[in-house]
Structure 1
Amino acid sequence: MKIDNLLKQVEFIKEIDKIKYIQRKTKLFNSDRHENDAEHSWHLAMMAIVLSEHANEQIDVLKVLKMVLIHDIVEIDAGDIFIYDSVKNHSNTKEELKAAKRIFGMLPTEQAQEFIAIWEEFEEGETNEAKFAKAMDRFEPLLQNTSNNGGTWSEFNVKYESVYDKKKLIKKGSKSIWGFAEELINESVKNGILKK
């Protein structure tokens, strides 16, 4: 039984290596190089540990870590959808659910069920952990874009209203981080790197 589990787990570990090849639109801090999903997930995990004291409510940090580390694994099959894409909605899609079932389904049953449940909880964004995990997911690219002279905002002509609308979700996970983020957004307008 244990050896069967190990074989399934190793296959899963090999499969998720593909996340390193999923390129995001955002670029690394002060850089021209695009971030990949693995780097993004690692950075969110570190942010969750470092910034956990700023959560609005008491959170289980380990659960948040699980969420941010697995939330984009589905993109191995479904691809990365740019948050400001005007054609395809950046929300839970049928493709993502199908991907979650296939990829997490490689694991032993109990683990597969846990990972799918954690992924779904993140997507729904209702629990304290999911709200904070989503706050990290929205905060990181904001920091990247401000470090890159507007980054994807400039590159794709994204307007202030759209950025503000997408980023205000941060407030559900952390009012203090949202206060900081809101200031960064407004400064970006003043500095001419985000257009109203």
Structure 2
Amino acid sequence: MGDATQTNDPPSASSGILTREDAEKVHWTPETVLSTLPHRPQTNSTSPIQFFHTLERLKTNKREGWRRFGIDRGESIADHMYRMSILTMLAPPSLASRLNIAHCTKMALIHDMAESLVGDITPVDGVAKPEKSRREAETMDYLCKDLLGNVSGGLAGEEIRRVWQEYEDGLTLESKFVHDIDKMELVLQMLEYERSHEKQPDLSEFSWVATKIELPEIKAWCEEVLEERKRLYKSWGKVPSEHYSTQHEKNLDEYYGK
């Protein structure tokens, strides 16, 4: 997500995110989280049921960036991926004609799957991007090989792993589109939380991700949402902030690799 949080309760191993101090002491692996679970998934099964159970964590693990602003009952990781998948299905015709939309929808539903164990690591959690990528890659190997490797010959697991890697590499038009949709969904949620919480909090720092959208068609969508946001603030007699600290920009630059 585009920002991080400091909550009243410190992150636990079961959430996938370790505190900065704990992270310095522990070499994170999927086992870091699995060892804390009351019902550990059975590996090497010919049934996908254990994989299905693991995905439940995407429904219950929250997107962390909002919580610093007092939004403690916000969206889950699965909520975020669900709306992303719908957005991909409604790509503007000029873009849809160049895309494999079904593949993009699949990618949107897979791209944050590793967060079922890793958790939603945000730019100021003190986890460098290469380390975040390592954790997510190891988790995807666990999900796709240990839990799905013996299911239907392992083909589904291999496909999920391949689609996730395509998103991570960000080289294909489909992956660039889904990266843009990831940011677009964040901008939508930013506005919706501000509107539903009636003036507080000001979530302006999340609007920074709009500058990282690449495709013109998605830029146009984003600009429409930001104009809607300006009108909302105007109705409150306010102007949304557009200033960010140097450190905040540095964190986001590193996180998005731009």
Identify the residue that residue 181 of structure 1 maps to in structure 2. 222
Q: Distance in 2 between matches of 1:89 and 1:33?
A: 27
Other structure's SS at 2:121 match? coil
Q: Which amino acid aligns with 1:169?
A: K
Picking from 77, 98, 115, the partner of 1:37 is: 77
**Does 2:138 match 1:138?**
no
Q: Are the equivalent residues in 1 in contact too, given 2:110–2:164 (CA < 8 A)?
A: yes
Q: Are the equivalent residues in 2 in contact too, given 1:54–1:177 (CA < 8 A)?
A: no
Q: Check 1:179–1:125 CA distance in 2 against 1; reply closer, same or farther (3 A cut).
A: same
Identify the residue that residue 9 of structure 1 maps to in structure 2. 48
Q: Distance in 2 between matches of 1:85 and 1:144?
A: 20
Q: Distance in 2 between matches of 1:26 and 1:99?
A: 22
Q: Are the equivalent residues in 1 in contact too, given 2:144–2:157 (CA < 8 A)?
A: yes
Q: Distance in 1 between matches of 2:129 and 2:183?
A: 12
Identify the residue that residue 85 of structure 1 maps to in structure 2. 124
Other structure's SS at 2:241 match? coil
Please give the residue correspondences for 1:28-67 in structure 2 after superposition, counting only pairs within 5 Å: 33-51=73-91, 53=93, 55=95, 58-67=98-107
Deviation at 1:113, TM superposition (A): 1.7
Picking from 207, 211, 230, the partner of 1:168 is: 211
Alignment coverage as a number of residue pairs: 181
Deviation at 1:114, TM superposition (A): 1.4
Deviation at 1:120, TM superposition (A): 0.7
Q: Are the equivalent residues in 2 in contact too, given 1:81–1:90 (CA < 8 A)?
A: no
Deviation at 1:15, TM superposition (A): 1.8
Deviation at 1:147, TM superposition (A): 2.3
Q: Are the equivalent residues in 1 in contact too, given 2:92–2:217 (CA < 8 A)?
A: no
**Does 2:155 match 1:110?**
yes
Other structure's SS at 2:75 match? strand
Q: Which amino acid aligns with 1:12?
A: F
Q: Distance in 2 between matches of 1:16 and 1:148?
A: 26
* Larger radius of gyration between Structure 1 and Structure 2: 2
What percentage of residue pairs aligned between the two structures are identical?
22
Q: Check 1:183–1:49 CA distance in 2 against 1; reply closer, same or farther (3 A cut).
A: closer
Deviation at 1:12, TM superposition (A): 1.4
Identify the residue that residue 64 of structure 2 maps to in structure 1. 25
Identify the residue that residue 195 of structure 1 maps to in structure 2. 242
Deviation at 1:54, TM superposition (A): 5.2
Q: Distance in 2 between matches of 1:187 and 1:90?
A: 33
Deviation at 1:149, TM superposition (A): 2.4
Q: Are the equivalent residues in 2 in contact too, given 1:149–1:193 (CA < 8 A)?
A: no
Q: Which amino acid aligns with 1:68?
A: A
Unaligned stretches of 5+ residues in structure 2: 1-43, 234-238, 244-258
Q: Check 1:36–1:58 CA distance in 2 against 1; reply closer, same or farther (3 A cut).
A: same
**Does 2:147 match 1:120?**
no
Q: Distance in 1 between matches of 2:181 and 2:89?
A: 10
Q: Are the equivalent residues in 1 in contact too, given 2:111–2:164 (CA < 8 A)?
A: yes
